[in-house]
Every structure is written in structure tokens, then in C-alpha cells.
Structure 1
Amino acid sequence: MIICKNCGAEYDDEQDRCPYCGGDNFGKSVQVHEDMMNELEREKKRWKEMPEKVAGKGMSWTAKLGIAAVIMVAVICIIVFIVSSISHKVSYRVEQKNLEKLESLYQSGDYEGICEYLKTVEYTYQSYFDKYTEIAGMQRYLNYLNDEDDSYLQWIVENDKADALSNISYIVSILNECQEAADAYYKYEEEDAVAYYKEYCYDYMKEHYEISEDEIKSCIDKAGGLTYDDKDQITEALQKLAISRLKDKME
């Protein structure tokens, strides 16, 4: 096991890169390079020690081609190693730049900016992007909210179409993401974002459907908690409560 010089995490010294931050395992890279050079030196020494009849002028074309092939393979391996090392370094620097930008957006509370910036970033499935992809997921649900004007709400009430209040489904999905973060003890240090989205959801439900935070929590408690499997039950309960409040408001 070794300690990553970039993030301080401990990982298997046989891995090419740190699985936590993507930093190069320079120790292994140097060792691979040294092994290649040592092998070339050993090969060179073996040929020098061969009898004159083999290594000298009398060397067969087959032997010469063999030597050329070995040298060519060694040179190609060294070139591939150098190119790979440069590529890893460039990739690492790009990833660090992206992470710094995303964290800057997070610190400024620009969650919509995080959502948009991630569209320009490759390989966001890497674990060190999890904090920002999680926030982007919440923001996308928020972006799905539709404009429910008075005529639309009146149609819902007149036709008793509680399930047409799709915005409530998005709100419950955001709250579910927030709950998952809380259950994981905010392992990505995303507590500020979670607090923002929770407050947004509670304010939205109060403003549009006259449903309080306590009533939302009551529906969640009756369903046994806010989990992925309980989302539909909670959504349905809140939709029915919302249409009841809308009826009272329109009477």
C-alpha cells in the first residue's frame, strides 16, 4: 500500500492511478521505466559477451534481424510509456481544473452552474465527481417544474386529476435525493446544497398548494420514511392533499 501524494488516500501500490483523486502512481511509473532500461542494458551485455563468430562479422541475417526486432520493440515500449505518462499527466491536470471549477461554483451556491458545467466535462462517472453529479440531479428535477397557471389548475380541480400535478412528483424526488444525502451523513460535504433544496421544496409546496412543511413530513412518516420505494405513495398522498386545498381556494 502507498499514500497518494495528491490527496493523502491509501491505495494498492500496483494501481497506475489513485482511485480517489486520479493522481498518478509515480512510483510505479518510475519502476516500469527503470525495469525497461535495465532489461535493455542486460540485453546489450548479453550480446557483447557472445562469441565473436556470432556477434561479429559472421553474424547471420537471422540473428541480425532478431537483434533489430528486440531493439525496435524496446524503443516502441519506451515511446508508448512516455506518451502514456504524458497523457495521464494532462488528463490529471484537466480533471483537477474541472474539480476546482465545480467546487468554486458550489461554494458560491451556483447549483445551476454546476449542472451546466457538468455537461462539458467527460468521465463524470469517476467517484470524485459524485458530489457534483448528485447536486446536478437535484437541480435537474427542479428544472423540470412546469408552469401551472390558473386555467390549468382549474382544469385539474374540475376533472379531479390529482395525478396531473406532476410538479409534486419532482418535488418529492428532490426531497428523496436530500434524504439519501442525509442518510449517508453528507459524505460529499454537500450539506449546504441539501439545505437549499429542502427549503426550496417546502416553500414551493406552501406557495403553490398551501401544504406546510409539517404536513409534508406527516405524509412521509405515514409512508414509513422517504425512500425510493415509498416515493409514489408519498407523491400520491400529497397530490390528493394539494387538490383538496385547490378546491377550497377556488370555492
Structure 2
Amino acid sequence: MKDLRKQDYLGVTSSSEDGDIHNNDAYLFLGNCPAHRYEAIITDPPYAIGIAGKDWDCKELQIDVLAYQFHRVLKPGGNVFVFCSDFQFGTWYRELSRYFTKLRKYAWCKPDSVGYNKGMFQESFELGLHACSDDSYFDMGNYYKNHTVTGKTSGKERIMPDPDEEWTKGKGSKALHPTQKSLKVIKDLVTALSKEGDTILDPFSGTGTLGVAAKQLGRKFEMVEYGFRNHIAAWDRILGKQV
């Protein structure tokens, strides 16, 4: 019998009083979503870093489509935040600037990054972009810089495959999601860009860090994730079975 955890898309939805997680395609979900539904969108889409002949993270994003849909499903006065690779940044900036008047770059700086490439500067940050309008909400009760300094996601927070899953040669030793974001980083963004009771969308939710942050901070969430195994992990986190 086929292990359902290895399936990409089963089309199921897991619902709770705090929000919903959809095992779905992000483009399909956004295309069918009503307009002006969310107060904020905070997401970490694929970086497409493998398009230069590599077989990992190699699907190029339709950033123009995503920027349009983000604007369409966002309520007036809402915020968009996307993490992106450095070579995607210009495209995201151009496409989001069609709909939003204020844009600001952001960086997650990781002081504990470990490098393996000798003769090169070690990558120790990830880029993000915040887009909004002149009347968009922003938490004025705190002071926010355009960067956060915190370590990589590790320890109990790092989601691992189930012990019985055949994942890598070192079974169970590799993280389930290779680019899982730190809960602290996401909680900072949620606090800055939304109010209690707001609903936040993450159409590329991975293992559900946005949902965990939203629940802890009194927001509602709607998350979309194509990989069914990640959907299971996100749901376990929302139910409190994992960090």
C-alpha cells in the first residue's frame, strides 16, 4: 500500500477554530479565492535557486500572477510580505509595485550559519520584501528595523520526518522541510503587520510556522500547502503535537 505521506496533492482541508490548512495548489486556490478576504499575506514561496541545472527547488514562480492575486485577495489597508531569493527580489519588487505604493526590503540574518564552500563569502541571511499602501496597518507600539537577527531553525523547533519514513540514506536525520522559517521571525512579522483577530494567508505554508505564530498571537490563519506530508506536519503543530 502506498504511503500517503509521500503524496503531493490529495485535496484535503484540515479545519480548526483558529484557521484552515488546505492541501492544494497555491495558484488554483488563489484563483478561486474571493476578493478582499485577508488582512495580511505572509509567505515563503520557493526560491527557484535550482533552475541553473539543479534538480532541487527548480520550479520557476509566476511572480506576476502571484503579485496580482495577492493584491486581489487582500483587503484594503492590508500588508504583503514575501521571503525570496536575491535574484527573485527585483522581479517581486517590480510586480508588487504595480499594486502597492510602499515597499521595503527585509533580511533575516543568521549568526550561526555554517558554510561548506571555501573561497566564498558564507551566506548568512535571507531576503524578504514588505509591500503595502499608504493607509496600510502597521504596529506603532513597537520599533521595527528592516532586519531580524536570530539563529537558524534548530532543536525541537526543527520538524523531522517520522522515524519510519524512508527519507534519506541517513533515515530520519534530515529535516522534513529544508527551509523552515524561525518561529521568532514569523511572530515578529505577524505582530508588525496585523492586529488581533485579523486573518493571515500563507499560500506556500510548508510545515505551518505562520499558523503556529498566528494562533499564539490571537490571529486567524488560512494556509495552503501542496505537499501532503508537510500538510500533516503543519496540522500536528496546530494541534500542539509539535513545536
Same structural fold, with TM-score higher than 0.5 when normalized by the shorter chain: no
Query: Which of the pair has more CA radius of gyration?
Result: 1
Q: Which has the larger helix fraction? A: 1
Q: Which has the larger strand fraction? A: 2
TM-score (norm 2): 0.23
TM-score (norm 1): 0.23
